């Protein structure tokens, strides 16, 4: 239960609407009780009065009370639903923002152990499940308690013993039923939450890998896994439905037994009315209506196990401490950038072997460096350290003479332009996919950079309004890479970090892109990661990496004449 406390604290922001929803629920329940009780007494009193009381019995006032109770009940129910759901949606919106703000500071290591579909399920389905906390637990519980107190207090004016008896029975039901059905529903609720996540994760994997499954004929096996999960999911849902039915049956049975007991006890007379007459109807119809408040309580705690399981799954993400933290303020952004790495070591969390070992590298402002090496030698990891995707394990990493950890995030992002290996294309227009790099850029500037990277063909049909689709499905890998370069040109920071920018390009386009980069970055610091040899002769320095270390560095002519590793790369190429 303690896991729910941080989420309960979020409710304070919307206390007024939530409290108003509870008040309206209480008013609605009391109107229902008053309506049924007054109707029962009115019918009983009319029958007792008979024709003889046609002119002496006041029919108008009770009839008006019945109509008033019916109107209040209807209006109250509508208002309670309106206010409660509005408050719940506001809490959910706040909870989603709260959860997302907790996730944003997490580096790739903080969410790397979660599959994408599972992460999405936690952010959507599990967060949505937390709305049960108010609608199905807090509001019904408070409403039932207040109704018990008000009913007991009201009936005590007629007979204290019967009023306390009814109140004690209802209170006992409210204490016993939640505990009973919480324990009964907790295992099923937890498994329902896990099965829901497993099913959606498997379904997402199936949809994403459908092509491969069809080609290799693996669809039947994959579908069988989904069917097994779905079957177990449905069995747990059936268990929950049976528990819900059992809880309602127990409430109805308790209401019937309580009505019989009240009728038997009231038959001997009431303390305030030795000859109760039609007043007996009050103690018959009041329990029937009052037990309506207990119905949602048992079902609410049945689902509490599912709410707690969802809260645990969300907390597994948001309770993680951020590995990388930025100060509120730091050094100002500069027009040129120099770098200094001294004895930098880095090991991924949970991994036994280091990825980078004693990296020492000084990069002057405006210098162009190529990082060359085979796949897995640590080139991309080095760029991630420069963008603070991770913190270095040991050593020092200086940017313009300041430790990189001294820079606030906004300044660091303003200083660096990055083109990673995987360029993400958003499901929006071509214009919006590029304006994210420079929100104030004009359509003319966007068109110009598209022409520079040979993507003017994208402008032929709908121009900048062309819809690129999810993940840029209509773009080839080379076009996506050049779209990333177009973003970089628009961002235009003093430090450029490029990870395999020409991968997937033909030789002619590769030469054009490299020439464009050198021309555009004449006064900028450039680090380019590559395992290709084209165009390296134009770089000021080439650093050859192997097994996490810089084993050679120098310009093209020097390294080629040294007959070292770079020369061997040239001979193979």
- Cα 573 to Cα 560: distance, rounded to the nearest angstrom: 13
Neighbours of 488 (CB within 10 A): 23
SS (H, E, C) 143-193: HHHHHHHHHHHHHCCCCHHHHHHHHHHHHHHHHHHHHHHHHHHHHHHHHHH
What is the distance, to the nearest Å, from the Cα of residue 505 to the centroid of all Cα atoms in its chain? Answer: 37
Summarised one tens digit per residue, pLDDT across range 450-509 is 999 988 888 887 888 888 887 777 788 888 888 999 999 998 899 999 998 888 788 888
Sign, CA dihedral 110-114-120-123, equals: negative
pLDDT of residue 231: 93
Neighbours of 320 (CB within 10 A): 17
State pTM to two decimals: 0.73
What is the distance, to the nearest Å, from the Cα of residue 300 to the centroid of all Cα atoms in its chain? Answer: 23
Q: How far is CA 262 from CA 155, 164, 270, in A?
A: 12, 11, 11
pLDDT of residue 277: 67
- Cα 538 to Cα 535: distance, rounded to the nearest angstrom: 6
- Cα 272 to Cα 292: distance, rounded to the nearest angstrom: 27
507 neighbors 535 (Cβ within 8 angstroms): no
> What angle (nearest 5°) sits at the alpha carbon of residue 337, between those of residues 340 and 481?
100
CA proximity to 428, closest of 437, 436, 418, 439: 436
Q: The tokens of 358 are what?
A: 């004693």
Bridging pattern class, strands 394-399 and 368-372: unpaired
240 neighbors 192 (Cβ within 8 angstroms): yes
SS (H, E, C) 86-108: HHHHHHHHHHHHHHHHHHCCCCH
Bridging pattern class, strands 339-346 and 394-399: antiparallel
334 neighbors 25 (Cβ within 8 angstroms): no
pLDDT of residue 368: 93
pLDDT of residue 207: 81
The conformation of residue 224, written as its DSSP 8-state character, comes to: H
Summarised one tens digit per residue, pLDDT across range 320-332 is 877 888 888 888 8
CA proximity to 360, closest of 200, 548, 165: 548
> What angle (nearest 5°) sits at the alpha carbon of residue 498, between those of residues 494 and 501?
135
- SS3 label, residue 397: strand
CA proximity to 76, closest of 22, 18, 24: 24
pLDDT of residue 273: 62
pLDDT of residue 51: 66
- Cα 299 to Cα 144: distance, rounded to the nearest angstrom: 13
pLDDT of residue 148: 92
pLDDT of residue 52: 61
What are the residue ranges in the chain where pLDDT is below 50?
none
What residue ranges define each of the domains in the chain, with the CATH number in brackets? 2-318 (1.20.1560.10), 339-572 (3.40.50.300)
pLDDT of residue 275: 64
pLDDT of residue 432: 92
Q: What is the side-by-side strand order in the sheet with 416-419?
A: 416-419, 495-499, 525-530, 368-372, 541-546, 549-554
Q: At what angle do helices 15-49 and 280-290 cross, to 10 degrees?
A: 150
CA proximity to 85, closest of 7, 9, 25: 25
- Cα 520 to Cα 493: distance, rounded to the nearest angstrom: 11
């Amino acid at each position: 239960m303690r896991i729910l406390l941080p989420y309960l604290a979020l409710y304070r922001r919307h206390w007024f609407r939530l409290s108003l929803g509870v008040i309206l629920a209480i008013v609605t329940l009391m109107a229902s009780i008053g309506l049924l009780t007054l109707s029962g007494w009115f019918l009983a009193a009319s029958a007792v009065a008979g024709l003889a009381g046609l002119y002496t019995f006041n029919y108008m006032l009770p009839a008006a009370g019945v109509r008033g109770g019916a109107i209040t009940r209807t209006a109250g129910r509508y208002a309670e639903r309106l206010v409660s759901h509005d408050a719940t949606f506001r809490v959910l919106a706040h909870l989603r923002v709260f959860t997302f703000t907790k996730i944003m500071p997490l580096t790739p290591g903080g969410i790397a152990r979660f599959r994408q579909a599972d992460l999405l399920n936690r952010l959507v389905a599990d967060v949505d499940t937390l709305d049960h906390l108010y609608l199905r637990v807090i509001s019904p519980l408070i409403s039932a308690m207040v109704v018990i107190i008000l009913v007991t207090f009201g009936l005590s004016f007629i007979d204290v013993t019967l009023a306390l008896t009814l109140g004690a029975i209802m209170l006992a039901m409210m204490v016993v039923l939640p505990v009973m059905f919480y324990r009964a529903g907790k295992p099923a609720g937890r498994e329902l939450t896990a099965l829901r996540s497993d099913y959606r994760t498997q379904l997402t994997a199936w949809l994403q890998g459908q092509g491969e499954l069809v080609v290799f004929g693996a669809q039947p096996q994959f579908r069988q896994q989904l069917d097994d999960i779905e079957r177990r999911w449905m069995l747990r849902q059936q268990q929950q439905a049976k528990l819900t039915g059992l809880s309602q049956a127990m409430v109805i049975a308790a209401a019937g037994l309580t009505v019989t007991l009240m009728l038997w006890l009231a038959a001997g007379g009431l303390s305030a009315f030795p000859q109760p007459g039609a007043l007996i109807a009050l103690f018959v119809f009041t329990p029937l209506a009052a037990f309506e408040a207990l119905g949602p309580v048992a079902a609410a705690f049945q689902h509490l196990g599912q709410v707690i399981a969802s809260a645990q799954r969300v907390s597994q993400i948001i309770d993680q401490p951020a590995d990388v933290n930025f100060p509120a303020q730091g050094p100002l952004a500069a027009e040129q950038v120099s770098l200094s790495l001294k004895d930098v070591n880095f090991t991924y969390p949970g991994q036994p072997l280091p990825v980078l070992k004693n990296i020492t590298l000084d990069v002057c402002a405006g210098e162009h460096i190529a990082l060359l090496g085979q796949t897995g030698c640590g080139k991309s990891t080095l760029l991630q350290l420069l963008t603070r995707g991770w913190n270095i394990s040991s050593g020092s990493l200086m940017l313009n003479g300041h430790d990189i950890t001294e820079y606030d995030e906004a300044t660091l992002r303003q200083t660096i332009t990055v083109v990673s290996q995987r360029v993400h294309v958003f499901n929006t227009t071509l214009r919006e996919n590029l304006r994210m790099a420079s929100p104030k850029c004009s359509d003319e500037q966007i068109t110009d950079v598209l022409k520079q990277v040979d993507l003017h063909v994208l402008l032929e049909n709908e121009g900048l309004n062309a819809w690129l689709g999810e993940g840029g499905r209509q773009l080839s890998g080379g076009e996506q890479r050049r779209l990333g370069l177009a973003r970089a040109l628009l961002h235009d920071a003093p430090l450029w970090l490029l990870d395999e920018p020409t991968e997937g390009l033909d030789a002619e386009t590769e030469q054009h892109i490299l020439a464009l980069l050198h021309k555009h970055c004449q006064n900028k610091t450039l680090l380019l990661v590559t395992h290709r040899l084209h165009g390296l002769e134009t770089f000021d320095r080439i650093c050859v990496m192997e097994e996490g270390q810089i084993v050679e560095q120098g310009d093209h002519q020097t390294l080629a004449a040294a007959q070292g590793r770079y020369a061997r790369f040239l001979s193979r190429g």
